[in-house]
Amino acid sequence: MSSSWTIKTALSVAVLVLWMPWVASAQTTTAQILPKQNSPYSRFGLGDLFSPALVSQTGMAGMGIAIRDGSHTNWLNPAALSSLEVAAFELGVSAKYSALSDGDQKDAAYSGNLRQLSLAFPLNNSINRAQERKKRNFNWGMGFHLAPYSEVGYNIQNIEIQGETLDRITTDLKGSGGTYKLGFGNGVRIGNLSLGAELQALFGKVANSRSVTLDSVALAYSTDLQDDISYRSTIFKLGAQYVINLDKPNEQGTQEIGDRSLILGFTYTPNSNLKSVSSRLYRRLSPSTITADTITYEADIERGGTLPGEMGFGLTYESLGKLRISAEYLQTRWSEYQNEAKSEPLSNARRVAFGLEFIPDVQSYNNNWGRSRYRLGVFHAQDARSNNGQQLTNLGVTLGVGIPIILPRQTLSFVNLALEAGRFGAADGLKENYVQFHFGFTLNDSSWFFKRKFN
């Protein structure tokens, strides 16, 4: 193995504290994180969780509870589907550079993933509403989306030199897989109040393994544990938004560019049943032959559990077509998490975020950068997982831009870019410094459900 992938003494100790509580009896230990793996903390819970924020929201610290946008989908609050003016197809991908560190020691890794695939549309066309030349107090939006929910990826090797006999024991820990969400949502607006609901199907599989080998003894048996768990659940999410107009509407009853408003947002997700099917194989292997002694074997064992509920609040000040400033708070009750297939205690998670979006000149005709949407955000989150008694935290800043493009049918669409940088880990121990780049596009079409009228 290349030495560039070896974590030195300080990082080794941190990794061992995280993964190997039984090594306290060992006198000498060496640990290393193997290439192409960058998330040792993903062993806990369901793994590293993904935000449902689209790239356009990631540039504003991943917020959306109190944000409404006629051109972009918002899956952070299903009530925001009622604000859609056009059919929106959105796709997002990400690439990440991360470095595990403890003191001056670092180990770099790269990863990438599909972040979101979404299609949403209003059920009454905005062109028809404009032709009617009167305000409509009702709107209905609907959509579907597919996104990763959690990811597991770690590969750690531990070497112990025990006692005066200098017995060498090698332990390998590996994990891979993850879960996904397929969601269907609806949002309706009645006057200034919007209500929404989303039904999500969670599914996926996680594989964990552990092998222990006594290297210093010839022909010694090794032990191997393989644990595969498939998950499924049905999650129900509710949302609400209320708009307080600070400026009076025009004669047609609509807001004009620059008109100010406050948007209040709320989301609630109750606890959900978690079902799993697990298979476990624990065996002893002989290095001299291909024979193996099976210690434990379980196949297709169905177990239950509970996914935690969640509650969020948001507040946004908006100057239509010019400025948007937003703040939100989100709490997930991971202390209520239960998983009979992989039992472990977790703590409640919290997230606070602030962000803004600025448009220099939304009516500019020949200056595309003047019509672009510039975004900035900062967030602080307490993770559900802990390391050596310390709850993990994630502190980051974001930058983003939404570049408008004109496609056939003269519908305004967007290329969205976002950059996220932060630090994740425990205050004293293993930390991850990361930079993540997000790319996405929003393709809009205003011809859906358009009813042509002839005189």
Q: Under a CB-based contact definition with an 8 Å cutoff, are residues 263 and 316 in contact? A: yes
- Residue 283 — very low, low, confident or very high, per pLDDT cuts 50/70/90? confident
* Nearest by Cα to 305 from 346, 271, 350, 332: 271
Give the residue-averaged pLDDT of 277-297: 77
Check whether 257 has a pLDDT greater than 90: no
pLDDT at 312: 97
Structure tokens at 65: 């509870």
Check whether 214 has a pLDDT greater than 60: yes
Give the residue-averaged pLDDT of 386-410: 88
Give the residue-averaged pLDDT of 414-430: 91
pLDDT at 238: 98
Q: What is the rounded CA–CA span in Å between residue 170 and residue 299?
A: 28
Q: Under a CB-based contact definition with an 8 Å cutoff, are residues 443 and 407 in contact? A: yes
Check whether 418 has a pLDDT greater than 90: yes
- Name residue 183's beta-bridge partners: 145, 200
Check whether 421 has a pLDDT greater than 60: yes
pLDDT at 120: 95
Q: Under a CB-based contact definition with an 8 Å cutoff, are residues 219 and 287 in contact? A: yes
The residue among 190 and 289 whose pLDDT is bigger is: 190
Least confident of 21-25, 26-30, 84-88, 433-437: 21-25
Percent of the chain residues past pLDDT 70, beyond the cut: 81
Alpha helices (runs of H) in 25-113, residue ranges in sequence order: 55-58
**Hey, CA dihedral for 49, 54, 60, 66, is it positive or negative?**
negative
Structure tokens at 374: 């510039």
In tens, the pLDDT along 300-344 reads 899 999 999 999 999 999 999 999 999 999 999 999 999 999 988
pTM of the predicted model as reported, rounded to 2 decimal places: 0.84
Residues whose CB is less than 8 angstroms from the CB of residue 27 and which lie 6 or more positions away in sequence, other chains included: 161, 162, 163
pLDDT at 108: 78
Least confident of 252-261, 300-309, 351-360: 252-261
- Residue 225 — very low, low, confident or very high, per pLDDT cuts 50/70/90? confident
Give the residue-averaged pLDDT of 7-18: 37
pLDDT at 366: 82
Most confident of 212-226, 279-293, 318-332: 318-332
DSSP secondary structure string, 20-89? -GGGGG-SEEEEEEPTT--BGGGGSTTSEEPP---HHHHTTTT--TT---SSS--SS-GGGGGG--SEEE
Judged by DSSP in three states, 79 sits in helix
pLDDT at 125: 64
pLDDT at 163: 63
* Nearest by Cα to 226 from 174, 275, 304: 174
Mean per-residue pLDDT over the chain, rounded:
84
Least confident of 211-225, 246-260, 416-430: 211-225
Question: Which secondary-structure segment (H or E) carries 19?
Answer: helix 9-19
Tell me which residue has tokens 């107090």.
Answer: 137
In tens, the pLDDT along 152-178 reads 988 877 777 766 655 777 888 889 999
Q: In whole angstroms, what separates CA 413 from the centre of its chain?
A: 24
**Hey, CA dihedral for 299, 300, 301, 304, is it positive or negative?**
positive
